Amino acid sequence: MDLRLDGKVALITGASRGIGAAMAAEFVAAGAKVMISSRKEAALVETALAIESRFGESVGDAQVAVFEANAGNPEAAEACVSATIERFGRLDILVNNAATNPYMGKMIEIDLPRLDKTYDVNLRGAFVWAQQAWKQSMAEHGGNIINISSIGGLSVETSIGHYNVTKAALLHLTRSLAKELAPGVRVNALCPGLVKTDMARALWESGEDAISQMIPLHRLGEPEDIAHAALFLASDASSWITGTCIVVDGGMLL
């Protein structure tokens, strides 16, 4: 299956490291122009340079751009979408990858500031970025939105309960937008399992071997595992798929 994105423009939030950076590299390799966004410009520049170094002279400023934006800030979302269109002339693919989890512990004990922050980035943020993509480009030209949820949205984990609530809500948002924005815009979600990222380090670092043995495929996920699935959803190979969630977890939910 030839998964190409030639001529497409993608915007990926939370793309300075981990899954977001892996998706950016995968999309560039498939021929897309990519705007990568996160809260820290220096980290974005470092990621962009790494992508350019990986692919050599064939990739540069013409194919990768950076924009500093807090995913939970509506004004930043509007500005970043606008900058993407101004830089590359269009916006075909939005990946809502940015997420936060500032609290671990029993959900019933979470303080309201951290509850609000988790909601603002993981759910409201995803909606606002999708809304801006729709208003500024996709309503007229069509497009493709990919929301990065989690298997936590399909299960219960007491130490990250509110995070999982936002990820479950993101799945329903995905289905609702898929129906509302069809046929011009496809909206799907990915539900990663436990992936070896800095954000999830507290969940895997101290017990990677033991956790791996409980997973049917006997390993934790790598950012590239999620990037490969995202490329499929971003490409025309998935042109008859909308409103669904693809679980990428090595069988962990089993």
Residues marked as catalytic: 163
Altogether, the residues listed in the chain come to a count of 254
d(CA 106, CA 68): 33
Task: Specify which residues 12 forms β-bridges with.
Answer: 36, 95
CA-based R_g, the chain, Å:
17
Under the phi-then-psi rule, with left for phi > 0, alpha for psi from -120 to 50, and beta for the rest, what region is 215? beta
Strand order of the β-sheet with 33-38 is: 64-68, 33-38, 9-13, 93-96, 143-148, 185-192, 245-248
Q: Can you state the percent helix, strand and coil of the chain, rounding each to 5? A: 50, 15, 30
Identity of residue 82: S
The sign of the CA dihedral 118, 223, 229, 156 is negative
Amino acid identity of residue 135, one-letter, is: K
In the numeric block, which tokens belong to residue 148?
């990065």
